[in-house]
Amino acid sequence: MSLYTRRGVSAQKEEVHAATRQLSKGLYPNAFCKIFSDYLCSDENYVNVMHADGAGTKSILAYLYWKETGNVSVWKGIAQDAIVMNLDDLLCTGIYDNILFNSTIDRNKNIIPAEVLEQIITGSEEFFQQMKQFGINIHYLGGETADVGDVVRTIAVNGTMTARWRKDRLITNEKIKAGNVIVGLASFGQSTYETSNNSGIGSNGLTSARHDVLNKFYAEHFKESYDNSLDDEVVYIGKHRFKNAGKVDADDEAGLLLSPTRTYAPVIKSLLEENFEKIYSLIHCSGGGQTKCLKYLPDNLRVIKDNLFEPPAVFKLIQESSGSDEREMYQVFNMGCRMEIYTDESFASEVIKLAKSFAIDAQVIGRVEESKKRELIIRRAGRDVACYVSTY
């Protein structure tokens, strides 16, 4: 049994999918988010989308960093994480403007004071203002902040996004076909709209990453930061502690885990406004890492990823600390590529050029082939790292 499983988490969310198997998949079963008819205005030319996500256990990392360094501004990054995990999922359906956001924050009031809430709320508004500069209008409608210390140990930061969108401007993944190439957008580096270098970690797999990288010091001093029923041998088994109270940067190994999740909204908005017809699919490599695409492929297609980015330092750190094999790493983490664009080979260079105009590295990472089953092959240095077959 993997460390990931022993910590009570699942990259593939098998139980969740089983519980929801009988629910409607909406108008477009292969779409990245569930899409329904326009119930708000009853216009057959529009659809409604509502999506919920959050920062996950990355908030625990912020908690530990804040408690050890006193730097409360780290919570602004958690606000961005919760928003981007919603926003970039919506991007994958073609939605990039006039979006409503509602936050949900559950906290243990005895541990999380008002100053933390203020940073999260302020950080949310700052991110919305930044996106507005690119013509991406997200309307902050408030939300619910609940003091539920009997339910949460520290804090959970989540949100919901809602949009009404033209049906003829949707990306539904039904157009993916053999012969498509996949352009990957890097999750690391520093884009033109980021203020610091991004490790590329995103907001997935942080339960294992936290325990694999951080020192047992945190288990001894912050028991509220983990499930105390876990075996001690899987709790905070790493070597590192946070070093830099001023900012999170590449000189702080533990701090690499706290890079705010990058949004690709400015890039995708520009791409869809100018070349909508040439984009067949957008896949946000979040939960499930590089295997995320399997959930949205039409039947009888194989994806081969044989030119992924060299994994950045944060993923090498996690793998060295955990001893996880490559198959598990690519199944849990984005490994340096968090957005995939499926298009024709003839258009790939234009996508790459656009991404690089925002200082985001991009390259053709793979291709789509005909197959008797939905499957994914990840290949590095001429060898197959893993083959995954769809269970959806």
Domains by residue range for the chain, with CATH: 3-197+260-389 (3.30.1330.10), 206-258 (no CATH)
* Residue 248 scores a pLDDT above 60: no
pLDDT for the residue 19: 65
Q: Please state, in angstroms and rounded to a whole number, the distance separating the CA atoms of residues 255 and 61.
A: 9
Contacts of 21 by beta carbon, 8 Å cutoff, 6+ apart: none
pLDDT for the residue 24: 81
Q: How many CB atoms lie within 10 A of CB 205?
A: 29
The pLDDT tens digits for 63-86 are: 999 999 999 999 999 999 999 999
Q: How many CB atoms lie within 10 A of CB 358?
A: 17
Q: Please state, in angstroms and rounded to a whole number, the distance separating the CA atoms of residues 301 and 313.
A: 32
Whole-number percent of the chain with pLDDT over 70: 92
> Nearest to residue 242, comparing CAs of 225, 262, 224, 217?
217
Per-residue pLDDT averaged across 163-189, rounded? 97
* Residue 273 scores a pLDDT above 80: yes
The pLDDT tens digits for 121-140 are: 999 999 999 999 999 999 99
The pLDDT tens digits for 129-168 are: 999 999 999 999 999 999 999 999 999 999 999 999 999 9
- More confident position, 181 or 22: 181
* Residue 3 scores a pLDDT above 80: no
- What Cα–Cα distance (Å) separates residue 68 from each residue in 63, 156, 221, 274, 303? 9, 19, 10, 47, 44
pLDDT for the residue 20: 65
pLDDT for the residue 1: 58
Per-residue pLDDT averaged across 87-101, rounded? 98
Judged by DSSP in three states, 373 sits in coil
Single pTM value for the model: 0.94
* Residue 61 scores a pLDDT above 80: yes
Whole-number percent of the chain with pLDDT over 90: 85
pLDDT for the residue 10: 59
- What Cα–Cα distance (Å) separates residue 18 from each residue in 73, 224, 294, 392? 39, 31, 16, 10
* Residue 391 scores a pLDDT above 90: no
DSSP E strand stretches across the chain: 35-37, 46-54, 99-107, 138-147, 155-166, 181-186, 281-284, 301-305, 337-343, 362-370, 375-380, 383-389
Please say whether the beta carbons of 240 and 256 come within 8 A: no
pLDDT for the residue 245: 56
- What one-character DSSP code corresponds to residue 24? -
Average pLDDT, the chain: 93
Per-residue pLDDT averaged across 300-312, rounded? 96
> What would you report as the CA-atom Rg of the chain, rounded to the nearest whole angstrom?
20
* Residue 169 scores a pLDDT above 90: yes
- More confident position, 250 or 214: 214
pLDDT for the residue 246: 54
Q: Please state, in angstroms and rounded to a whole number, the distance separating the CA atoms of residues 177 and 180.
A: 6
The pLDDT tens digits for 224-245 are: 999 999 999 999 999 999 886 5
Please say whether the beta carbons of 149 and 109 come within 8 A: yes
pLDDT for the residue 7: 67
- What Cα–Cα distance (Å) separates residue 167 from each residue in 68, 164, 170, 312? 49, 9, 6, 38
pLDDT for the residue 92: 98
